[in-house]
């Protein structure tokens, strides 16, 4: 990737749009970016990093701080980058999220982050995240890896050199595509985990099956079985299966015997149950015969009552069906006679009462008819007033128009007065706003100065906080060093004790050699020392003498303690060197920040940092408060200008409105006077002063006329209605008198028929007839009772005959004794069945367990074999073999690449350090408990010693990190893995080099520019300005920074 052209707008210290045509620097060579502190040198790197990956080049700078404080509100913030990659040209534009003025209305709104990438094919990729993903895919690197390989930014120069093993692994994984090896590790690890789980599950399954074995405590093998099951071990599985098979065979035999005996008991129970059932049936038959005989006697006692009920039923049927219909006819005719008599009486009374009232209504009608002349006069008055109403209406409309014009005239007068007052208020307000505008004339300049001060203070605060964090880190290192010293002292004591014990026991062992040798002598065989074949007095070893195995064990223990002591010593020494390097860097940084001598005491430096931080924070708080005030004043100034413009426009409109309304008022005065004269002329010709009075008179007169007509109409209707009612009643009473003759004749006929009928059916009088009469429901119930009685008698006689036949020649039986025998048989069978079920359940359970344990044992052995093979492979691939180097498969592959990188880096480091230093990959960790493979040491050829790269000085670290970054770049170029780096940027670091080292660094960087590569350097070192021709010179000013390309 090579940047061709960079355009920055409202970005960092650049207020407007600036363009950096990097293609004018050529395709290769060195170029220098120089300028004042804070001018925006690193911002060029920030712009490239932001455009590519939506990030900044340094760890302190963040994306949300990239918007320029110098930019005007309407200036857009964005970066446009034209770059080439693998011979193809790309165009990339990206803007961060920032606040901008609203397009409509006042206030601010957020401009969301966005990006656009134009590919060589013309295809356009849009969207912040999508463009970043496309750049990562295109370059083969993400933001973090790009920074460590191609963009060594200020404050991050040593990251690649001092990175931990796992951090380097992440870089190499992406660059060299070693993910597949890590995938193999993970697959083996998961396979090992799964097999281990299955292996442990097989053990658990076998033990779980063993827990389910059932055996009676009285069984001869119970104790042995219980002991094997209590051990919770699968090693006794074979013996357990043998015992289980013996138990199963015995249970099968016992189950067959019990099953046969249970069958015999079942037959006996069935026979006994049949005998019990037959006895119960005979006893119930005797009991039922006795009950039926008693019930028949009770029925015979009710025979006389049933005969009386038969006679009552016959009389009731005659009365209900023979006499009762004629009685109903007589009652109906008698009721009609009574109703007609009552109706005729009421009609006669009504005629007598209504005749005088009709006469009175007739007289009232004649009186109302005589009032007809009055009604005619009222109608004439109404017609006259109705004809005059249009004239009244015209006068009324003229009055309304006059009132409306008078109101409008009054409103105009008020409006004119209000406008005059408003003009005075607006003039006074304009005067005040003009004064306030003049007072705030220089607020923009003061706000810009305040923002610059805050920006400088923020940078200072960040650097002070960084120093404070470094102090805390160094203090933690001191604590760790103290702990490591203590660990070393403890390890040394333990080693001395183990060594003393080993020497003591070794001496004792040597003293006892004669006794040990004599133990192996046999009579007749020569002694290996003296050659004698007889051994009358053998030397004997003491009872507590150590064996050779004891001596070896003590020696191994002594060696282990010695290794632990050496490791603790190396850790303490390494930590001490790290502390010295960190303190040197810390004091150098503090010296640069505070610009005066710094105490060598860490505590004094910490107190000084705290004081400076409090001082800086207090100053920032004051400046922040001042900025808020100035921002409010700036907003107020803008408001004043807008309000002043609005007020002047309003004043002009008010003046014009006042003049126009004065003219309108004069015209309306003339029109109002004309209206008044016309109204007076018309009003003189009318009877009433207003149309309301005239209409009211019409309404009153009309009401009187309608009332008189209504009284006449009502009186006439009442008279006619009364006369029609009297005529109707006279006609009706004549009809009823004729009907009465026929009703009397029908009543007498019905009485004669009724009397004849009840006598015909044998009733002496009406009372005897009513005594015999029953309702239809009562008669039915009486008949039903008689029928039921007779049916029960017949049924009871039949039961007695049947039961007598069933009990003939039979006797009562003792069912209690038979039931007792049945219970005894059932109890015996239930007891036997319970035992049978228990044996069957145990047999089924133990049979299943025997089969499953045998099957699980076979699977367990296979799983054990597979697990041991895969576990060894997994531990080997993941670097987890005990006592072996912790080097995983992927790290092994990455170590190969790392060796090539180090080889390329040493070609430059040897030149930069005059042959003193070489980088070495640390192949073995300090102990076998840590992962290793990508750690880095340095060989000092002057002393011949190997030490950690963290012990290098500032200048030496710069040379080593530069060499390593360049070596990585060379190796990447050798592999066609899709990653090409045609441009490298180096931000600061040269200030730590002496003149000779600086010359060597420039020569080294110059050698990199061959092969179409650009190397950009940011530095304040004055010697570089003379040695590098191509420059980007940046100057800062009160309105923002500017840049110039010098070739």
- CATH architecture group of domain 306-370+694-772: Orthogonal Bundle (1.10)
Sheet order of strands, 935-940 included: 917-922, 935-940, 945-948
pLDDT of residue 928: 46
Confidence of residue 979 (pLDDT cuts 50, 70, 90): low
Write down the pLDDT at residue 431: 82
The CATH-assigned architecture of domain 1-140+981-1047 is 3-Layer(aba) Sandwich (3.40)
Judge whether 1-140+981-1047 and 306-370+694-772 match in fold: no
Please give the C-alpha separations between residue 51 and each of 77, 533, 980, in angstroms, as whole numbers: 12, 98, 18
DSSP for 624-653 reads HHHHHHHHHHHHHHHHHHHHHHHHHHHHHH
Residue 910 has pLDDT above 50, yes or no: yes
Mean pLDDT of 862-869: 86
Query: Angle at CA 845, nearest 5°, toward 842 and 851?
Result: 135
158 with 960: CB under 8 angstroms?
no
- Render pLDDT for 113-122 as a digit per residue (tens, 0 to 9): 999 999 999 9
Q: Are 147 and 53 in contact (CB under 8 A)?
A: no
Q: Are 10 and 75 contacting, i.e. CB atoms less than 8 angstroms apart?
A: yes
What's the token pair of residue 880?
């987890």
* Alpha carbon 972 to chain centroid, angstroms: 44
The pTM score is 0.39
Domain spans in the chain, listed from the N-terminal domain onward: 1-140+981-1047, 166-176+887-977, 182-301+813-878, 306-370+694-772, 459-598
Q: pLDDT at residue 148 above 80?
A: no
Contact 20, 1043 (CB under 8 A): yes
Tokens coding 518: 């004599």
For 483-509, what is the mean pLDDT? 83
As a whole-number percent, the residues of the chain with pLDDT over 90 amount to 6
| Superfamily covering domain 166-176+887-977 | P-loop containing nucleotide triphosphate hydrolases (3.40.50.300)
| Pairwise CA distance, residues 714 & 731, whole Å | 26
On the question of pLDDT at 90 being above 60, the answer is: yes
What is the per-residue burial (b if ≥16 Cβ within 10 Å, else e) of 179-214?
eebbebbeebbebbeebeeebeebbebbbebbeebb
pLDDT number for residue 91: 95
Distance CA 545, CA 944 (A): 48
Cα–Cα distance between 770 and 776 in angstroms, integer?
A: 14
CA angle (400 as vertex; 398, 401 as ends), nearest 5: 65
- CA distances to 440, 445, 499, 635, 1027 from 641, rounded to whole Å, are 11, 17, 93, 10, 55
pLDDT above 60: residue 62 = yes
- Alpha-carbon distance of 378 to 871, in angstroms, equals 130
CB 121 within 8 A of CB 114: no
Q: Are 979 and 175 in contact (CB under 8 A)?
A: yes
3-state SS, residue 935: strand
Q: What is the pLDDT of residues 4-17, one digit of tens each?
A: 999 999 998 998 99
Q: Can you tell me the mean pLDDT for 605-625?
A: 88
Determine the pLDDT at residue 8.
Answer: 94
- Beta strands 1031-1037; 1040-1046: pairing state: antiparallel
Of the CA atoms within 13 Å of residue 1020, those in its CB half-sphere come to 10
pLDDT in tens, 707-765: 887 887 888 888 788 878 888 888 888 888 788 888 888 888 888 887 888 788 888 88
Digit-coded pLDDT (tens) for 658-701: 787 777 777 777 777 777 777 777 777 677 777 777 778 878 88
Q: Give the single-character DSSP code of 924.
A: S
């Amino acid at each position: 990737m090579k940047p061709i052209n960079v355009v920055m707008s409202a970005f960092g210290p650049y207020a407007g749009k600036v363009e950096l045509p990097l293609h004018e620097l050529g395709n290769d060579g060195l170029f220098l970016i120089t300028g004042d502190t804070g001018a925006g040198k690193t911002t060029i790197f920030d712009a490239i990093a932001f455009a590519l990956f939506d990030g900044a080049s340094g760890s302190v700078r963040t994306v949300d701080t990239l918007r320029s404080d110098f930019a005007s509100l309407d200036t857009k913030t964005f970066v446009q980058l034209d770059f080439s990659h693998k011979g193809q040209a790309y165009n990339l534009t990206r803007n961060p999220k920032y606040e901008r003025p609203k397009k409509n209305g006042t206030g601010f709104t957020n401009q969301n982050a966005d990006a656009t990438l134009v590919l060589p094919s013309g295809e356009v990729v849009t969207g912040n995240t999508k463009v970043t993903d496309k750049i990562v895919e295109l370059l083969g690197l993400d933001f973090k890896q790009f920074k460590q390989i191609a963009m060594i930014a200020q404050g991050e120069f040593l990251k690649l050199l001092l990175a931990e093993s796992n951090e380097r692994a992440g870089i190499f994984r992406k660059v060299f595509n070693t993910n597949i090896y890590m995938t193999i590790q993970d697959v083996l690890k998961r396979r090992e985990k799964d097999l281990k789980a299955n292996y442990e599950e097989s053990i658990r399954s076998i033990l779980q099956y063993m827990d389910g074995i059932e055996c009676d405590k009285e069984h001869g093998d119970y104790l042995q079985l219980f002991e094997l099951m209590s051990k919770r071990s699968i090693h006794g599985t074979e013996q357990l299966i043998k015992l289980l098979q013996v138990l199963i065979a015995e249970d099968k035999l016992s189950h067959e015997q019990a099953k046969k005996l249970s069958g015999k008991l079942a037959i006996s129970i069935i026979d006994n149950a049949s005998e019990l059932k037959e006895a119960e049936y005979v006893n119930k038959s005797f009991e039922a015969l006795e009950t039926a005989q008693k019930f028949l006697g009770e029925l015979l006692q009710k025979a006389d009552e049933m005969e009386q009920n038969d006679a009552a039923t016959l009389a009731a049927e005659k009365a209900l069906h023979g006499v009762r219909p004629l009685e109903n006819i007589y009652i109906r005719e008698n009721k009609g006679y009574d109703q007609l008599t009552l109706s005729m009486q009421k009609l006669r009374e009504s005629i007598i009462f209504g005749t005088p009232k009709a006469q009175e209504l007739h007289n009232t009608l004649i009186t109302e008819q005589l009032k007809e002349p009055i009604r005619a006069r009222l109608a004439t008055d109404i017609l006259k007033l109705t004809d005059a109403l249009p004239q009244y209406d015209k006068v009324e409309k003229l009055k309304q128009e006059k009132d409306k014009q008078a109101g409008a005239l009054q409103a105009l007068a008020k409006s004119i007065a209000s406008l005059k007052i408003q003009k005075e208020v607006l003039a006074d307000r304009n005067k005040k706003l003009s004064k306030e505008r003049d007072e705030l004339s220089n607020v923009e300049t003061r706000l810009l100065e305040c923002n610059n001060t805050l920006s400088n203070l923020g940078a200072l605060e960040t650097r002070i906080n960084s120093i404070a964090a470094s102090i805390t880190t160094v203090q933690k290192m001191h604590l760790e060093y103290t702990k490591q010293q203590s660990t070393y002292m403890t390890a040394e004591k333990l080693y001395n004790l183990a060594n003393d014990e080993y020497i003591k026991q070794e001496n004792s062992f040597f003293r006892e050699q004669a006794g040990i040798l004599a133990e192996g002598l046999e009579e007749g065989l020569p002694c290996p020392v003296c050659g004698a074949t007889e051994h009358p007095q053998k030397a004997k070893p003491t009872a507590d003498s150590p064996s050779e195995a004891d001596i070896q064990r003590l020696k191994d223990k002594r060696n282990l303690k010695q290794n632990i002591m050496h490791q603790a010593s190396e850790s303490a020494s390494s930590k001490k060197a790290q502390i010295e390097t960190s303190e040197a860097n810390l004091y150098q940084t503090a010296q640069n920040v505070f610009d005066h001598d710094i105490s060598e005491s860490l505590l004094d430096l910490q107190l000084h940092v705290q004081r400076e931080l409090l001082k800086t924070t207090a100053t920032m708080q004051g400046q922040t408060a001042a900025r808020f005030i100035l921002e409010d004043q700036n907003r107020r100034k803008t408001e004043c200008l807008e309000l002043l413009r609005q007020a002047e426009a309003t004043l002009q409109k008010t003046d014009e409105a006042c003049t126009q309304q004065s003219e309108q008022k004069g015209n309306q005065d003339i029109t109002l006077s004309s209206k008044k004269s016309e109204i007076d002329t018309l009003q003189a010709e009318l009877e009433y002063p207003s149309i309301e009075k005239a209409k009211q008179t019409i309404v009153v007169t009309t009401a009187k006329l309608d009332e008189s007509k209504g009284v006449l109409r009502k009186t006439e209707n009442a008279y006619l209605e009364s006369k029609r009612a009297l005529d109707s009643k006279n006609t009706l009473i004549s009809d009823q008198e004729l009907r009465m003759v026929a009703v009397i004749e029908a009543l007498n006929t019905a009485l004669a028929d009724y009397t004849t009928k009840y006598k015909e059916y044998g009733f002496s009088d009406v009372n005897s007839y009513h005594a015999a009469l029953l309702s239809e429901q009562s008669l039915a119930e009486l008949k039903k009772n008689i029928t039921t009685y007779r049916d029960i008698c017949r049924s009871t006689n039949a039961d007695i005959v049947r039961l007598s036949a069933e009990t003939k020649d039979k006797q009562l039986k003792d069912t209690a004794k038979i039931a007792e025998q049945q219970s005894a048989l059932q109890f015996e069978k239930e007891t036997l069945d319970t035992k049978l079920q228990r044996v069957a359940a145990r047999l089924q359970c133990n049979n299943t367990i025997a089969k499953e344990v045998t099957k699980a044992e076979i699977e367990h052995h296979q799983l054990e074999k597979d697990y041991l093979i895969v576990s060894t492979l997994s531990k080997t691939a993941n670097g987890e073999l005990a006592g072996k180097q912790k080097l995983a498969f992927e790290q092994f592959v990455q170590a190969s690449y790392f060796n090539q990188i180090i080889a390329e880096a040493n070609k430059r480091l040897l030149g930069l350090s005059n042959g003193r230093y070489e980088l070495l990959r640390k192949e073995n960790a300090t102990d076998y408990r840590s992962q290793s493979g990508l750690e880095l040491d340095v060989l000092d050829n002057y002393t011949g010693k190997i030490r950690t790269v963290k012990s290098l000085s500032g200048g030496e670290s710069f040379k080593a990190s530069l060499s390593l970054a360049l070596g990585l770049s060379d190796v990447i170029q050798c592999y066609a893995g899709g990653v090409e780096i045609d441009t490298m940027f180096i931000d600061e670091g040269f200030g730590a080099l002496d003149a000779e080292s600086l010359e060597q660094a420039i020569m080294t960087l110059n050698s990199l520019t061959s092969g179409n590569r650009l190397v950009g350097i940011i530095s304040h070192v004055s010697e570089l300005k003379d040695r590098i021709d191509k420059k980007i010179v940046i100057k800062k000013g009160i309105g923002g920074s500017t840049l110039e390309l010098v070739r």
